[in-house]
Amino acid sequence: MLNFKNLKPELIEKASRIKLLLTDSDGVLTDTGVYYSERGEELKRFSIRDGMGVERLRVLSGVETGIITGEVSGSVRTRAEKLGITELYMGVKNKSEVLEFISAKKNLDYGSIAYIGDDTNDIEVLRMAGLSACPADAVIQIKQITDFITESRGGNGAFRDFAELVIFSRTNNQESPDSKLESK
């Protein structure tokens, strides 16, 4: 169980300014595994808890979620649709350019955008974001530069941990009832 009361006030302050939370897919929303057959990619595993994190962010704190991934995956597209995520960017080679585009499109400064990633292709965008995080099993280069390391591993609640930090910070721990939420 996460205990946000022991976090540094600077981290809570950064998290309270977030209006958009962006995430990588593989290694954050999934456990980095993928099942292949002779037809190509078949399956990826997503956490229902992470899906609830997307919904809780939206309903309890007004924060939207977006996905920026280097992969092009029907599984990711389907998951984004299920969660009502409209900011979906796949096949991205330069994630910082996409962050710049989203920032301009939504008229948000970087200080109001959070990003969670797990591998070296996320370094630049993690440095640009106003708040950065990584899963517990991220590569060491990422752990060394992020503001927050989740207790959970990728695909096993890491996104949810980060979402809960933002919700806690934005609502001053005065959340609305969960009765407004539905399982994703």
What integer pLDDT is reported at residue 148 of this predicted model? 97
Q: CA 136 from chain center: how many Å?
A: 13
Residues 6+ apart with CB under 8 A from 172: none
Task: Please report which helix (H) or strand (E) contains residue 40, including its range.
Answer: strand 40-43
9-16 helix and 158-171 helix, angle to the nearest 10 degrees: 90
| 167-183 pLDDT tens trace | 999 997 665 444 445 54
| 100-142 pLDDT tens trace | 999 999 999 999 999 999 999 999 999 999 999 999 999 999 9
Give the residue-averaged pLDDT of 43-60: 95
Give the residue-averaged pLDDT of 58-67: 97
Complete domains list, the chain, with CATH:
12-176 (3.40.50.1000)
What integer pLDDT is reported at residue 7 of this predicted model? 87
What integer pLDDT is reported at residue 179 of this predicted model? 42
Identify the bridge partners of residue 23 per DSSP, sorted by sequence position: 67, 116
What integer pLDDT is reported at residue 174 of this predicted model? 60
- 147 within 8 A of 11, measured Cβ to Cβ: yes
Identify the bridge partners of residue 43 per DSSP, sorted by sequence position: 35
- 34 within 8 A of 145, measured Cβ to Cβ: no
What is the SS3 assignment for 180?
A: helix
What integer pLDDT is reported at residue 173 of this predicted model? 65
Give the residue-averaged pLDDT of 138-163: 98
- 85 within 8 A of 65, measured Cβ to Cβ: yes
